[in-house]
Amino acid sequence: MRTARAWLADTAGGLPRIFWYLWTGLLINRVGAFAMLFLPLYLADARHASDALAGLVVGAYGIGGVAGVLLGGVLADGWGRRRTLLWSHLAAAVLMAGMAFTTSLPAIALLAGLVGIAHSMPGPAFVAAIVDVVPAERRSRAFNLHFWAFNLGMAGASALAGLLAESSYLVLFLLDAAATLATAVIIAWKVPETLTPATVRATPAIRAGLRTPLTDRTFLAFVGLTFVLAVLTTQTSTVMPLAMRADGLSSSAYGLVVALGGALIVVGQLFVPRLIDGHRKHRVLAWATGLTAFGYGSLALADHLSGYLLAALVWTVGSMLAAPPNAEINAELAPPLLRGRYQAVFYLTFPAAAFVAPTVGGVSLQYLGDWHWLAVGGVGLLAVAGHLVTGPRRERRVAAGTESQRVERAAPDVSPTTVTAACRSPRTTAP
């Protein structure tokens, strides 16, 4: 069996130095990004907000994230990767420090929305910068490490934050701001602008494609199912801490549950490809969504830490299985000239879920109690059926696009009109 050290050696080989600065900045950012995980508990414990009101305030963070993804994508292409990364991190650090000293709930809600914008803006720029500097044949390695750093950082953040939250929420927010500022310093010091003049000149040629993903029914069906999965997984950081508090569990117990999930993902990433290779993607996603639904649905019976830990084990396995086919399908459905636009629509599902999950979930938990978790599990089972129904058609479209890919490679000069028309055809896909 291959060791983690051997996997890292194979994965890390040949990556440029700029990538490692980006990777280090992301890791530091994630280790420090723990305050928003505990925002529901902070609102309930320190600001005495009801579950429903706490859900609305946390939902403001999700709404800000929706705007931040769009704004970050536009600025990364037009203003530059480096500037977008630098100024979004600086803004997030200032806003997080402001939240540390704010006591008014309306002001906290406003700051949460602005922090959501600042936290989501770097995402498209991070990915775009990695694509800019890493050769195509090494991007799979780079994104594996990107995903690994994200989850390793989140696991460390969750464990650390659980201890800090019990001593001082002020320290929690200020350390988060400091880690964000450290990332900004690394970007300012070591990361040059990776956006080339050729890319800038090419950008206006595909502006007509902004609406193309929104008329691609096959892609939108996939995005909708991904949104359901995102709503399920977002329960961990939005509704579950309130449920654990109602069961008399501490902040450190919540941090332990979240840390377990992050640690399992970090380790499981080494072995998931072996489990799913050779299986049809829609069936893998159906199994993954089913496990996730079962994990969250089982919280209806969880009253002690052990129950939450067992449930986290189940839904984390589901998340691990879902990640590779989700990324592959998103790449397969996106035409080459419109991959950025397709990525933007796809990644909107996560901040949108960060709004819907707490906004609806806070009210649901307050009035339904444990039945909330059964409802969450039921919604997940509907998504399982959705994958089984829509998956075969989606995979036929990908298979039928093989010949179109050869034609595209033979005639690379494609006009925006041709691209838009091709996207609407069920036989055309990205390479």
List the domains of the chain with CATH numbers: 16-143+161-193 (1.20.1250.20), 211-431 (1.20.1250.20)
* Contact yes or no for 219/366 (Cβ under 8 A): no
- Per-residue pLDDT of the chain in tens (431 residues, 90 and over written 9): 445 455 444 445 578 899 899 988 888 877 666 677 778 778 887 788 887 788 788 888 878 888 888 788 778 777 778 998 999 999 999 999 998 898 888 898 899 899 989 988 888 788 778 777 877 667 656 766 777 777 777 666 666 666 666 667 787 888 888 888 999 999 999 999 887 665 555 545 445 445 777 888 999 999 999 999 999 998 887 888 888 888 888 878 887 888 788 778 777 766 776 787 778 889 999 999 999 999 999 998 888 888 999 999 999 999 888 877 776 777 677 665 565 567 777 878 887 887 788 888 888 888 888 899 999 999 999 999 999 999 888 888 877 764 454 444 444 444 444 333 333 333 332 32
The reported pLDDT for the residue numbered 340 is: 57
Print burial letters for 370-399: b (CB count within 10 Å at least 16), e (below 16).
Answer: eebbbbbbeebeebbebbeebbeebeebbe
Look up residue 138 and give its amino acid: R
The reported pLDDT for the residue numbered 251 is: 78
CA–CA gap between residue 223 and residue 156 (Å, rounded): 30
Torsion angle (degrees, nearest 10) of CA 212, 215, 217, 219:
30
CA–CA gap between residue 108 and residue 114 (Å, rounded): 10
* Contact yes or no for 133/191 (Cβ under 8 A): no
Q: Tokens representing 400?
A: 């039928």
* Contact yes or no for 224/234 (Cβ under 8 A): no
Tell me how far apart the terminal alpha carbons of the chain are, to the nearest angstrom.
33
CA–CA gap between residue 271 and residue 269 (Å, rounded): 5
Contacts of 120 (CB under 8 A, 6+ apart): 64, 65, 66, 67, 68, 69, 72, 351
Angle between helices 305-333 and 371-400 (to 10 degrees): 20
